Structure 1
């Protein structure tokens, strides 16, 4: 997305995906309390001098670098020299192997294409077998959750130079995060809410490229390469007197923090209702004191929180919606906008299902008519989702 620079006389090109801005880290804190199973970072970045601006609902692209430990393991595995020069990109730029593996290439993802191209550098029968047409499913299964190091360990011995191996890799892709601040409330700043991704698979500990960079290797004073990505499909209502209902468990809270801040600055008179959810109230209620202050000040009309691990029966955001079925339907009938942000696979589906149930029961409609009602809400631009 092209950004506008304040000073048009300045010849610096606008900052974008291909020309990210080096944003200084002003704050990097863990939002989770003692005893939490999670680590959620609140990161504040300076946009001073960038000319970058954003609206609530926009995303920030972060161009990450790979874990130095993983890079070292790769170089070691192949007995390469880290300072050997390799050529990258269409412009035939040269970098040291270590620099290329750290900042230029994607090394934590595998694809069918990578395995096919790698196959010419080894006589490993297992790899040739995996690439047969009838083994498409096994190939897909192999790629899932594995990385370049797994491939190099599993299918050697390799007859390939460092250059030949890096030539089959994809360029590092930026990671997009929903912006967790309002530009109007925080001029020259942008805030992010990032959950650190860590898991064990195929006998090794795995780390999310960007989320663990942000949680382990980026400190105040460091910089992160960023750009603003517009999101035309997720925004506040144009009319400020409209009510909004926001469902954002976990890091899904991010854009709603931006919505609430924006509405606080603009002193809007539309009501707002937030459904937040996580594991434990004591350690995982992200931005709790901030949200409670907004509620006290009347900026946030209603706040309903669900904590799934605090009771025998797991309680999620959709359960809180169903508990407030009558009032929620009244808000929608009166023209409220309904927003969902977060996990696409489970949460967003469950919330959608709860919404249909509420419309069906409260509107005394058939399932079919309730689904049509929801489709109509979507057509009107009043049911908006930012799911991933």
Structure 2
């Protein structure tokens, strides 16, 4: 078979079987077998311009899928890359006629076999690129240096410059060229062998989603997700686009339950929940559980943020019903694009409720749960809470120590997603 480099430690064969036991791949925080289930229902929750496309999906759970969970638990979905993108990559590399042929993967260095645990013993090139490797992760300099060996003229010179230790353009390059397809189109003379590509691509990692339905509902679970679009490449996120496509045809997905890290306790102390956008998901599970248990007059307070009242206020009717029924005691909603005075976020609402938050969090020993985007929100929320503590008589150092104590006591818990 042509196109193989016979370099490195990874080998691909199209005409022989493998004779060793392959190490099992260990997934992050794995707490169950990998299940495959059908998406039975899909609904778009947002409408109009200037908002993300957010979907609700229902995943069927058969009797064989038995798992004890609590509000706040998560699952990890095993995504697939975009089929059109993968087909284009393999065609550019010159493998169009071989993508569906059986091939075998083996590693020459016994000690490094675990590095390739994400690759199957036997598959096809198309399936491996669809299911096992990340074609959107940034290239390391060592990979760019290796790729320069298979490039010519200006492409070779530019790749050698980018991979040099003192390169001034590397960071800008990886930000703007954050996919294998984008790279191959930019460096058209680069034709590396397939084993070089696979040896340097990262594993395709699972994506984490909070369960948005109560664990008391045993035959299905609910997820909500937004379709992410990269600002530089304008590509949809790998998993969100995969879920969108699969949900619209009621296809099946693979997933596993994760070890709990953000469980919301059913307790009598005040509970403050902070979750803009799809960060609402674990709190929906918590509130639905309270509702199914007929727990009324609970001291639960939800801070929720979105852009517009009539475009992306998720589960507005349900939240207001929980409020009227006493499942939810207080609901504070920030619409960031509707104020003439500037953008309003949940952190502004927290500042406006300083005295009441101090009463519930400090004087009544309440708990705070925060779920959302890891990029900016968590630092801003902590600063807003410190402002509440300082505004009610604590010194800054005392307030910081108090918050650190709450974190250690699991009375202040964050669930961050990227």
With normalisation by structure 1, the TM-score equals: 0.88
Q: Determine whether 1:296 maps to 2:310.
A: no
Q: Determine whether 1:236 maps to 2:264.
A: yes
Residues 83-162 of structure 1 mapped to structure 2, 5 A cutoff? 83-88=100-105, 89-90=116-117, 93-112=121-140, 113-123=142-152, 124-135=156-167, 138-144=169-175, 146-162=178-194
Q: Residue 117 of structure 1: CA displacement? A: 4.1
Q: Determine whether 1:348 maps to 2:378.
A: yes
Q: Is the 8 A contact 1:247 1:276 kept in 2?
A: yes
Structure 2, unmatched stretches of 5+, are: 1-29, 106-115
Q: In 2, Cα distance between the equivalents of 1:84 and 1:40?
A: 38
Q: Determine whether 1:211 maps to 2:264.
A: no
In 2 relative to 1, CA 361–191 (structure 1 residues): closer, same or farther, beyond 3 Å?
same
Q: In 2, Cα distance between the equivalents of 1:153 and 1:33?
A: 35
In 2 relative to 1, CA 376–357 (structure 1 residues): closer, same or farther, beyond 3 Å?
same
RMSD of aligned residue pairs (Cα, Å): 2.2
**Which residue pairs with 1:259 in the alignment?**
286
Q: In 2, Cα distance between the equivalents of 1:356 and 1:87?
A: 57
Q: Is the 8 A contact 1:59 1:177 kept in 2?
A: yes
In 2 relative to 1, CA 168–84 (structure 1 residues): closer, same or farther, beyond 3 Å?
farther
Structure 1, unmatched stretches of 5+, are: 1-15
Partner of 1:355, secondary structure, is: helix
Q: In 1, Cα distance between the equivalents of 2:331 and 2:348?
A: 14
Residues 1-388 of structure 1 mapped to structure 2, 5 A cutoff? 19-48=33-62, 49-81=64-96, 82-88=99-105, 89-90=116-117, 93-112=121-140, 113-123=142-152, 124-135=156-167, 138-144=169-175, 146-184=178-216, 186-201=217-232, 204-219=233-248, 221-232=250-261, 234-237=262-265, 240-268=267-295, 270-312=298-340, 313-332=342-361, 333-362=363-392, 364-388=393-417
Q: Is the 8 A contact 1:41 1:214 kept in 2?
A: no
Q: In 2, Cα distance between the equivalents of 1:318 and 1:175?
A: 27
Q: In 1, Cα distance between the equivalents of 2:143 and 2:79?
A: 21
Q: In 2, Cα distance between the equivalents of 1:17 and 1:70?
A: 32
Q: In 1, Cα distance between the equivalents of 2:31 and 2:179?
A: 25
Q: Is the 8 A contact 2:93 2:192 kept in 1?
A: no
Q: Deviations over 1:187-243 (max 9, x none)?
A: 122211111001342xx43110001111234335311101001223x22236x2122
Q: Deviations over 1:129-176 (max 9, x none)?
A: 1111112x6323322351111222333423433343233222211111
Partner of 1:167, secondary structure, is: helix
Q: Is the 8 A contact 1:107 1:169 kept in 2?
A: yes
Partner of 1:182, secondary structure, is: coil
- The count of aligned residue pairs is 367
Q: In 2, Cα distance between the equivalents of 1:19 and 1:331?
A: 40
**Which residue pairs with 1:9 in the alignment?**
none
Q: Is the 8 A contact 1:118 1:168 kept in 2?
A: no
Q: In 2, Cα distance between the equivalents of 1:164 and 1:323?
A: 57
**Which residue pairs with 2:22 in the alignment?**
none
Q: Residue 35 of structure 1: CA displacement? A: 3.5
Q: In 1, Cα distance between the equivalents of 2:145 and 2:294?
A: 58
Q: In 1, Cα distance between the equivalents of 2:197 and 2:409?
A: 50
With normalisation by structure 2, the TM-score equals: 0.82
